[in-house]
């Protein structure tokens, strides 16, 4: 039986500030662990999720350039903080501030990845949404996926260069604004 494609509903789901969504994957991005909050907010059963690609929750309005940046960082052994919009099984979406880290064995070989996700602040999202919309618009101007990702990655880098910061610095600059309000 063929699975039905999930379509975004525009309904936003949230979770409490004191809750953390946790997942682990292997090096290919296949889920090896999900906590109960991941199960609850995603709307999928644990049995369904385990062994599936983490991108089963990818929202179509997330720019692929952000995921390229994420994979480039973590596969090189570095951590990354990123704002991500995910999609639940029923088409609802939820925003997170993700902290993704590689997991190493005793010899320094990457075994997989671990992600903790917290709620994303509204003030940060007010700045993230326009950037992500511009990246997605850039991707949509290109007919082929590799060209689309390259174009939006270049736009992301130009935007960060103009601001004089890395993506991590951009993320933390938004967090600082939230704290100072």
83 in any annotated domain:
yes
Query: Domain containing 65 — which CATH number?
Result: 3.30.450.20
Q: pTM surpassing 0.75?
A: yes
163 in any annotated domain:
no
Q: Indicate the number of domains in the chain.
A: 1
Report the first-to-last Cα separation within the chain, whole angstroms. Answer: 51
Q: Domain range holding 33? A: 21-120
167 in any annotated domain:
no
- Structural contact between residues 63 and 55, judged by C-beta atoms closer than 8 angstroms: no
Tens digits of residue pLDDT in 72-87:
999 999 999 999 999 9
Strands of 93-104's sheet in order across: 31-34, 21-26, 110-119, 93-104, 80-87
180 in any annotated domain:
no
Tens digits of residue pLDDT in 154-179:
999 999 999 999 999 999 998 654 43
181 in any annotated domain:
no
Asked if residue 96 has pLDDT above 90, the reply is yes
115 in any annotated domain:
yes
- Structural contact between residues 56 and 63, judged by C-beta atoms closer than 8 angstroms: no
**Residue 172: strand, helix, or coil:** helix
33 in any annotated domain:
yes
158 in any annotated domain:
no
């Amino acid at each position: 039986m063929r699975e039905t494609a999930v379509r975004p509903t525009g309904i936003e789901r949230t979770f409490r500030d004191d809750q953390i969504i946790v997942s682990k994957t292997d090096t290919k991005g296949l889920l090896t662990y999900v906590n109960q909050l991941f199960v609850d907010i995603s709307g999928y059963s644990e049995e369904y999720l385990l062994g599936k690609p983490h991108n089963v929750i990818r929202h179509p309005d997330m720019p692929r350039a952000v995921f390229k940046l994420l994979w480039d960082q973590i596969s090189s052994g570095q951590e990354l903080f990123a704002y991500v919009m995910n999609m639940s099984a029923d088409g609802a979406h939820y925003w997170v501030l993700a902290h993704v880290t590689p997991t190493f064995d005793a010899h320094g070989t990457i075994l997989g990845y671990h992600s903790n996700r917290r709620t994303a602040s509204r003030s940060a999202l007010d700045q993230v949404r326009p950037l992500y919309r511009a990246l997605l618009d850039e991707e949509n101007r290109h007919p082929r996926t590799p060209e689309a990702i390259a174009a939006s990655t270049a736009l992301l880098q130009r935007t960060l260069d103009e601001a004089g910061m890395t993506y991590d610095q951009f993320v933390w600059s938004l967090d600082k604004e939230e704290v100072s309000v």
